[in-house]
Amino acid sequence: MTQLKQFLPFLAGWALLLASVNFGQIAAINGFLQVLLFGFVVCIPTWRTERMSYVDIGWPWGLVVIGIVTAIMGQGDTTRTALVAGVYIFMGGRMGIFALKLWRLGALRRELPRYQYQVIRWERAGESNLAIARQAEVSAQGLANASFLAFPAMIIAANPASSISHIEVIGFAIACIAFLFESLADVQKVRFIIRTKAAGERNRVCKDGLWRYSRHPNYFGEWMVWNGLIVMAIPSTLHLFDAENPLVAGLMTAGLFFVSRIMYVTLVRHTGAKPAEFYSLQKRPEYAQYQKETNIFFPGPPRIS
């Protein structure tokens, strides 16, 4: 029953797309491709190895799928369609290529800490069938790609208006700046790891660059990319009410803003900040002090302890 509740919001979002006049076909094709991708890349390997880390390959490449399907099947203005499809392809491709590198290096031969933490959560909740719980967890992320996470792309790519509004430009700029912010944070973290390893220092806490102002600036940047896409989609919701049943258009608009909450909860509580900090506190003696001095998610000036 718990696993079923986890699926229901995403199934409802996908059903809404399938029932719409404008998005039924593209939602069916995207959903089919997401099921195919997750089935072979995530679900089967997870079942065989008892490791959920394969979702780190499937989920970002699922975003690339959304971008490609949108670029091919979007019925709106070509410039607008290309912009939103490009954001999805670059965002997913960057994470997907990195995940494939980890896989080739053998990093997925053991469960990543954030998914180890999920097992701890299940054990605390009394979950007895971990195999089914794992399948439900990874499948839900595939359904997210088939439903709400595709909303911004599909809504934007259906807008036929030939002129790009100021709000769309602002949203696209937010997404691009956030993408660079996230990438810079990752580069700073990698350089820190390389430097400390070369110096023979272990279990140090990265406070370089953006990490001085947020304990998880990369997650904040990723969240802001999605917020940029939502802002970019706002003008297209006006066309949505002209082209769709008002009830469907209203529910899709609400679902569009729901994307921000989905990503925030995921990046902070489920597979992001909270799991990472659970293990950082155990491994890094300085981390408790870092928590006192630095915001967990939203960047801000360091606090004086």
Express each pLDDT in 31-71 by its tens digit: 999 999 999 999 999 999 999 999 999 999 999 999 999 99
Q: What is the mean pLDDT of the chain?
A: 94
Q: Note the pLDDT tens digit of each residue in 114-156.
A: 899 999 988 888 888 899 999 999 999 999 999 999 999 999 9
Region 228-257: what's the mean pLDDT?
94
- Percent of the chain, pLDDT > 90? 84
The answer to whether residues 289 and 203 touch, using CB atoms and an 8 Å cutoff, is no
What is the C-alpha to C-alpha distance for residues 127 and 46, in angstroms, rounded to an integer?
18
pTM exceeding the 0.75 threshold for the entire prediction: yes
Contacts of 191 (CB under 8 A, 6+ apart): 208
pLDDT score at 4: 63
How far CA 130 is from CA of 53, 118, 133, 135, in Å, comes to 15, 10, 5, 9
Region 230-235: what's the mean pLDDT?
97
What is the C-alpha to C-alpha distance for residues 133 and 4, in angstroms, rounded to an integer?
10
Considering only CA atoms, give the Rg of the chain: 20
| Comparison of pLDDT for 109 and 171, the residue scoring more | 171
**Helix ranges (DSSP H) in the chain:** 2-19, 24-38, 44-49, 55-73, 78-104, 113-125, 130-146, 151-157, 166-198, 217-243, 246-265, 273-283, 287-293
- Whether 305 shows a pLDDT value over 70: the answer reads no
Domain coordinates in residue numbering, the chain: 2-293
pLDDT score at 1: 52
What is the C-alpha to C-alpha distance for residues 164 and 81, in angstroms, rounded to an integer?
11
Contacts of 36 (CB under 8 A, 6+ apart): none
